[in-house]
Amino acid sequence: MAEEADAAMTDPVTDDSATPATPRSGSATSGRAAVGAAMVEPVPAARTGSGGGLDARPEDSGAGPGDSRRILLLVARREVTARLRSRAFQVTTVLFVVAIAASVLILNAVGGSSSTRTVAVAAADGRQASAIVAAARSLDTEVRIRTVTDAAAGRAAVLDGDADAFVRLTAAGGGYQVSVKEDLADSLASVLTVAARQAALEGQITTLGGDPATVGRAIATAGVDVDTLRPAAHRDGARLALGLLSGGLIYIALLTFGPQVAQGVIEEKSSRVVELLLAVVRPWQLMAGKVAGIGVVALGQLLLIGVVGVGLGLGTGELDLPAGIAVGKVAVALLWFLLGFSMYALLFAAAGALVSRQEDAAGVTSPMIAAILIPYVLGISVLPASPDSGLINVLAMIPLFAPILMPMLIGIGSVALWQVLLSLALTLTLIAVLVWLAGRVYGNAVKRSGTRVSIRDALGGT
């Protein structure tokens, strides 16, 4: 059994004119040639029929566990090779990696650009330096003080670009006179307005015989004591971003590679290739190998994107998380992708076996696409504003929604361990059920061509 499948995947196509075909039931040689031709080029319906390997029943070949494992590897290797050679896969992988890398680098460039304002102050007005810095701190603005000898030096620093503004007290002591090269930035204008009002207040206190330093200390120590009756849990922006990004990438991968399983099944079925493959491969082996092969390719693409994104995020400091936590969350997201792909790929394979034309694929795959779309839309709509949403926590325990929602909640940190374990158990249970259910539908429906096969007929095998 395994030798026939191996030859079917690797043997070149023999010249039909050189050796006349002699159809004989159970002939392994003709089966290898036919299936070898099927793996190299699409086989038209005219070349398929009785005779050769098509009459051989794989169920009668007595394949053992080792043979089954080898056949699965052969089918999976064929799928991996076909996907890796696809120009569309290569282009999309490069685009995803470039997009993730560019996003991280752009955020770092924008966030890392210097927003510090430089203010020149004459040595005679040195007391104002601390007032300007205090005002900037209260407004969450970075200001650096540059001390100059006199007004001429201050104006020269502004014209040379060494300072954004030159500040000096007015003669009346009631405000600032500011010199700028072109215009005064709004953030710096706010800082200087607060500092100027403080300077005017101190001038009035001095005029009335008070001590500005004493008043300043009294003002500085005054504050508001807040008693929070229901404190909100602190949410780290980096964790939120990583969680939403993980769920988004899983959503894209499921929506990209899931339908490819159905398309591959329909393509083989419409070209009658599946009839040749089933001469030496059992239906469940063909389905499992296809799912495993496409899954490996999808996992590799996600892993590459995750390594690039997390590596650049940690390297540039944009991902403000310990490396161990970031890598752990990516690993958990990849685990949930494997579970989600296994579940949806089985559904897509069974759905693809029900029809024989690509035009009919949308009718049988739309329920799975909707099941992938709904949790993603809910997750990105609700979680940023309400990370502790009870609705999302409940939906995340539904197996069809868990592969997208659970990585988001784990990344944010708003889900309990028991919820994760329960969702994991339910998902594994559903996968086990789908292995039997999808295998039965696929095995009964993939051999039928022409009209669409109903679910009842596929399950009943009639």
Q: Read off the pLDDT of residues 173-190 as tens digits, 9 standing for 90 and up.
A: 567 888 888 888 888 888
Q: Read off the pLDDT of residues 219-251 as tens digits, 9 standing for 90 and up.
A: 666 667 777 766 665 566 778 888 888 899 999
Instruction: Give the pLDDT confidence score for residue 404 in this predicted structure.
Output: 95
What is the Rg, in whole angstroms, of the alpha carbon atoms belonging to the chain? 34
Instruction: Give the pLDDT confidence score for residue 49 in this predicted structure.
Output: 38
d(CA 445, CA 202): 89
Q: DSSP string covering 102-166, please?
A: HHHHHHHHHHHS---EEEEEEGGGTHHHHHHHHHHHHTT--EEEEEESSHHHHHHHHHTTS-SEE
Please state at what angle helix 237-270 crosses helix 283-316, rounded to 10 degrees.
Answer: 150
Domains of the chain with CATH codes: 65-105+236-460 (no CATH), 114-214 (3.40.190.10)
Q: Distances in Å between the alpha carbon of 262 and those of 347, 368, 408?
A: 9, 11, 27
Sorted by sequence, the CB contacts under 8 Å of residue 170 that are 6+ apart come out as: 176, 177
| Amino acid identity at 363 | G
Strands 165-169 and 176-179: antiparallel
Sorted by sequence, the CB contacts under 8 Å of residue 45 that are 6+ apart come out as: 272
Instruction: Please tell me the number of Cα atoms within 13 Å of 438 on its side-chain side.
Output: 26
pTM: 0.65
Q: Do 35 and 272 meet the contact criterion of CB atoms below 8 Å apart? A: no
Measured from the Cβ of residue 454, the count of other Cβ atoms closer than 10 Å reads: 12
Please state at what angle helix 323-353 crosses helix 237-270, rounded to 10 degrees.
Answer: 30
| Amino acid identity at 221 | T
Q: Do 294 and 261 meet the contact criterion of CB atoms below 8 Å apart? A: yes
Q: Give one word for 233, left, alpha or beta, with left for phi > 0 and alpha for psi -120 to 50.
A: beta
Tokens of 306: 């995750």
d(CA 309, CA 104): 7
Instruction: Give the pLDDT confidence score for residue 232 in this predicted structure.
Output: 60
Tokens of 221: 């120590």
d(CA 45, CA 40): 16
Report the run of H or E that residue 303 belongs to, with start and end.
Answer: helix 283-316
Tokens of 387: 């990370």
d(CA 378, CA 448): 39
Instruction: Give the pLDDT confidence score for residue 136 in this predicted structure.
Output: 83
Instruction: Give the pLDDT confidence score for residue 56 in this predicted structure.
Output: 38
Q: Read off the pLDDT of residues 132-185 as tens digits, 9 standing for 90 and up.
A: 888 888 787 888 888 888 888 888 988 988 888 988 877 665 678 888 888 888
Nearest-5° Cα angle at 400, 429 to 348: 95
Strands 117-122 and 165-169: parallel
Instruction: Give the pLDDT confidence score for residue 187 in this predicted structure.
Output: 82
Tokens of 414: 């708003």
Sheet bearing 117-122, strands edge to edge: 143-148, 117-122, 165-169, 176-179
- Exposed/middle/buried for 288, CB within 10 Å: 0-12, 13-18, 19+? buried
Partners of residue 169 on adjacent β-strands: 176
Instruction: Give the pLDDT confidence score for residue 59 in this predicted structure.
Output: 46
Which residues of the chain are under the pLDDT cut of 70? Answer: 1-66, 110-115, 124-126, 171-174, 212, 216-217, 219-223, 229-236, 461-462
Q: Do 269 and 351 meet the contact criterion of CB atoms below 8 Å apart? A: no
Tokens of 218: 């009294």
Nearest-5° Cα angle at 282, 61 to 440: 130
Q: DSSP string covering 37-74, please?
A: HHHHSPPPGGG-SSSGGGG--GGGS---HHHHHHHHHH
CA proximity to 329, closest of 235, 243, 405, 247: 243
